[in-house]
């Protein structure tokens, strides 16, 4: 077994250039941990925001002056190569996927995590690259559409940012829930969104996707490109504006709409749910994959040594679906 592993260090907040490759001793799992050789890990918009320490209030959780963990990456897939003495649910050789959470360190060759954490067995029908993305776009979109609100058959759902990791998953999930789906994107991604099941695709470069008055039961703003105030006229009575990007304006709108009016602004930190909730939601997503109702859209796959380039590409805002490093 290897004695050292490769990872990426982030010692200060900033752009992709703050990422530096490091080599560290391979950790030995404690009694309740497993050691995983990582085959693939995700590089998401959220990863870039945490690397940059933006918005600044997230530094209360990540470290006020510098990233507390020192490593980067949250979502991974790989093989278990060692187990702690108290671990009974996993064995050496098991293929798994999971989330490192605020421990970080998924953009690496190895990671130690608690066996009772957000960790699931990888089905043979799902490859490592796809599995590494499921705790990002897929779980977040499924959480918002089934827990933050409950999308019902026949609901009119607008997805803002339809071509990203959350958006491409949300289109497929909303269709699986038998909703009518409108999604926004640029002209070049129109056919991609139609192939995923979108009933209507709006080119945001020439048309405001919120221009339809009182048309939607749900507006899911996957990128935080709009606001509750802008979406409110496009919502029917009892409509919900959902957004996974928390800022001061959304926080204010959540509080205000929670007290007044019948249209609501909603946020949830899906990644901060308990491991039990994560496992439940991802099990449901795997069922959809098994029924051919969902498949992660894969954009680019980089070698781990090119993590900086992967971050730079994600920051262009032009990715279609998911980016991973292997």
Residues 280-296 have pLDDT tens digits of 999 999 999 999 999 99
Alpha-carbon distance 54 to 46, whole Å?
Answer: 9
8 contacts 108 by C-beta, under 8 angstroms: yes
Cα 114 to Cα 35: distance, rounded to the nearest angstrom: 9
Beta bridge partners of 19: 10
Distance separating alpha carbons of residues 166 and 141, to the nearest angstrom: 6
Closest C-alpha among 129, 10, 139 to residue 63: 10
pLDDT in tens, 115-173: 999 999 999 999 999 999 999 999 999 999 999 999 999 999 999 999 999 999 999 99
The structure tokens listed for 254 are: 């959540």
Residue 1 has pLDDT above 70, yes or no: no
Global confidence as pTM: 0.94
The DSSP letter of residue 312 is: H
């Amino acid at each position: 077994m290897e004695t050292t592993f490769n990872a990426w260090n982030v010692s200060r907040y900033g752009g992709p250039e703050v990422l530096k490759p490091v080599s560290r001793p391979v950790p030995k799992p404690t009694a309740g941990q497993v050691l995983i050789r990582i085959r693939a890990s995700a590089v998401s918009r959220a990863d870039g925001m945490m690397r940059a320490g933006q918005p600044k209030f997230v530094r209360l959780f990540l470290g006020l002056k510098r990233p507390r963990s020192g490593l980067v990456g949250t979502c991974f897939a790989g093989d278990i190569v060692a187990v702690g003495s108290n671990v009974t649910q996993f064995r050496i050789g098991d293929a798994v996927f999971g989330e490192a959470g605020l421990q970080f360190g998924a953009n690496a060759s190895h990671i130690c995590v608690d066996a009772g954490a957000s960790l699931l067995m990888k089905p043979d029908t799902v490859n490592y690259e796809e599995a590494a993305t499921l705790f990002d776009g897929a779980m977040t979109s499924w959480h918002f559409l089934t827990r933050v609100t409950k999308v019902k058959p026949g609901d009119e759902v607008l997805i803002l940012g339809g071509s990203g990791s959350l958006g491409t998953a949300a289109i497929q999930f909303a269709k699986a829930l038998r909703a009518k789906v409108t999604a926004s994107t640029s002209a070049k991604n129109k056919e991609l969104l139609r192939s995923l099941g979108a009933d209507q695709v709006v080119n945001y470069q020439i048309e405001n996707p919120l221009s339809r008055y009182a048309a939607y039961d749900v507006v899911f703003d996957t990128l935080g490109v709009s606001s509750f105030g802008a979406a409110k006229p496009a919502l029917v009575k009892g409509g919900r504006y959902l957004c996974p990007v928390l800022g001061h304006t959304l926080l204010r709108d959540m509080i205000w709409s929670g007290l007044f009016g019948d249209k609501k602004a909603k946020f949830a930190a899906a990644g901060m749910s308990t491991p039990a909730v994560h496992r439940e939601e991802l099990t449901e997503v795997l069922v959809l994959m098994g029924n051919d109702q969902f498949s992660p859209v894969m954009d680019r796959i980089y070698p781990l040594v090119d993590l900086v380039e992967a971050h730079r590409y994600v920051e262009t805002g032009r990715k279609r679906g998911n980016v991973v490093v292997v």
